[in-house]
Amino acid sequence: MSSAVQSILRSDASPRGIYDVARIRKDFPILAQSIHGKPLVYLDNAATTQKPRAVIDCISKVYEHDYANVHRGVHTLSQRATELFEGAREKIRRFINARHSREIVFTRGTTEAINLVAQSYGRPHLRSGDEILITAMEHHSNIVPWQMLCEQTGAVLKVAPIDRTGSLLVEEFEALLSERTRLVSVAHMSNALGTVNPVELLIELAHRRGIPVLLDGAQAIPHMAVDVQALDCDFYAFSGHKLYGPSGIGVLYGKEQILSAMPPYQGGGDMIRRVTFEKTEYNELPYKFEAGTPAIVDAIALGAAIDYLQTLGMDAIAGHEQRLLNYAGERTTEIPGLRVIGQAQHKGAILSFTLEGIHPHDIGTIFDHLGIAVRAGHHCAMPVMDFFGVPATARASFGLYNTFEEVDALIDGIHQVIQVFR
Amino acid sequence: MLDQIRDLYQEVVFDHNRNPRNFRVMTEANRKVEGYNPLCGDRITLYLKVSDEGVIEDVSFQGSGCAISTASASLMTEIVKGMHESEAEELFETFHRVTTGKEESFDLEELGKLAVLAGVRAYPARVKCATLPWHSLKAALHDTEATVTTE
């Protein structure tokens, strides 16, 4: 690509004042460091994101001033902690536009949220021969809980195929919706390929047949505005740590009507209304699904992360990341032997690739010496790797704080890897 | 450039990665083990022909892996060919000890040609790449049928 084209792509892309990435980077203390003597280029955002000062400060502030157990004490600190904790739930409700905050269940993360649905919704509902439909691009956490459920119930796991670009074959998906399908569970966005699924359409197809749909939103939620009412999904699962919040906290959104009818996932404190040795009366939503002391401060800090994201605006973040992805995509075409894995038309900010004759693990190690952090491996999506006939890929995944200079560093790094291995 | 990584990626490693030795299927093998590193997806199939006296008469491998695991497998096949099982096991122990860095000081001479892989000590995330072929060898010597993983 000519330098003129490059500069048009880049300057057009990053108009100062509209999305000031240099200023945004200052909000993330961890980014201002060197790795092996090179400035850190953090491109492993699909694995986890770095935290803004607002989140880090929130955690210390709560522990220093407002911490106690929630929903229990009459004392001031407990009331404060409860208010902050429930305040975070309300922020999350608004963020994904759920109808009620009782539809927001705190979990440890996406994985636990999916397991909750598998065990509390799936297990009582499914009979031998019933079917669960997923896609061929799922993360292991949207495969294994269903396999476990199938073993428990005799249900069958069906997998809708993808094409060579990494796009879901929607017609085949539709053909797999049968009279026995009891649940559809689909990634909103693929972690290994970046594919953004046409979830509105998939939900409509499933709903026409009365089948509920769970969206695994772990990857999508940091990259786009999500409106669960507009989507009309029945469940939406995501993790705090991929949304610039703490790890150990996540969310299961579920439609109230469905959640109400589900039995609890785990038993313990906080999920009960009244316990005798004969019988226990369960608490109301969402507490029915929140046994034990939750990750109180992490939930509050997830609320702080959402506040932070809203000062930037999800649409502005999405626009910036798309420009980075397009620029990176353009620049990779200049590299012989580079194969992009996942070229769906609708893609989030993930660039998965292989280099001819060079294993992704070696790319990862050499990158590290250049200060570049990427994921090298199967991305917990081994069936996807098998489909593309590769043992692993290198994956650069962009976040709201990445820059065009970092894309340049990535491309330069790839050239250096090739040189080392030549 | 990238001088720091030369302790890991020595020329010998590149050489064995580009042209792995004994990289073939062995039809007359009497031991065969699948090695697998679930973390990165590296796979190796190791073939051995062991005599009744316990001498490794022939050894070969197939599979796909990174430069470190491929070079490690290639070097291993060169070195253990002709060894008695017990010698190969001893070498496994030494190699394992050195690469996993459990000892502060060690004698590189003990490792001979394998010393080029000692640099992996400084890369905890890559140690399993180097040890996968050796774990497979150990399993093959014990005549384990099952798949070996580094986990």
Name residues 348-377 of chain A within 8 A of B (Cβ): 358-362, 365-366, 369-370, 376-377
- The answer to pTM > 0.90 is yes
- Spell out, as residue ranges, where chain A has pLDDT lower than 50: 11-17
Q: Do A365 and B42 touch (CB under 8 A)?
A: no
Strands (DSSP E) found in A161-304:
181-187, 213-216, 235-239, 250-254, 272-275, 280-282
Residues of B in contact with A378 (CB under 8 A): 40-41
Residue A386, chain B, CB below 8 Å: the answer is: no
- Whether B48 and B30 have beta carbons less than 8 Å apart is answered as yes
What chain B residue is nearest to A380 in terms of C-alpha separation? B39
Q: Do A378 and B41 touch (CB under 8 A)?
A: yes
Q: Do B41 and A382 touch (CB under 8 A)?
A: yes
Residue A61, min C-alpha distance to chain B (Å):
35
- Count interface pairs A-B at CB distance under 8 A: 56
Catalytic option among A58, A150, A233, A380: A380
- Spell out, as residue ranges, where chain B has pLDDT lower than 70: 1-2, 102-106, 144-151
Write the residue in B4, B70, B125 that is nearest to A36 by C-beta. B4
Residues of A in contact with B125 (CB under 8 A): 365
Q: Do A361 and B1 touch (CB under 8 A)?
A: no
Residue A379, chain B, CB below 8 Å: the answer is: no
Q: What is the pLDDT of residue A8?
A: 53
Residues of A in contact with B123 (CB under 8 A): 365
**CA-based nearest residue to A254, from A132, A142, A139, A92:** A92
DSSP per-residue letters across B20-88: -TTBS--TT-SEEEEEEETTTTEEEEEEEEE-TTSBEEEEEEEEE--HHHHHHHHHHHHHHTT-BHHHH
What chain B residue is nearest to A391 in terms of C-alpha separation? B41
Write the residue in B1, B43, B129 that is nearest to A361 by C-beta. B129
Name residues 39-78 of chain B within 8 A of A (Cβ): 39-43, 64-68, 70
Question: Exposed, middle or buried: residue A270 (CB in 10 Å: 0-12, 13-18, 19+)?
Answer: middle
N-to-C CA span, chain A: 23
Per-residue pLDDT tens digits for A114-140: 999 999 999 999 999 999 999 999 999
Known catalytic residue at A380: yes
C-alpha distances in Å from residue B32, one per residue of A417, B55, B90, B137, B138: 34, 16, 20, 9, 11
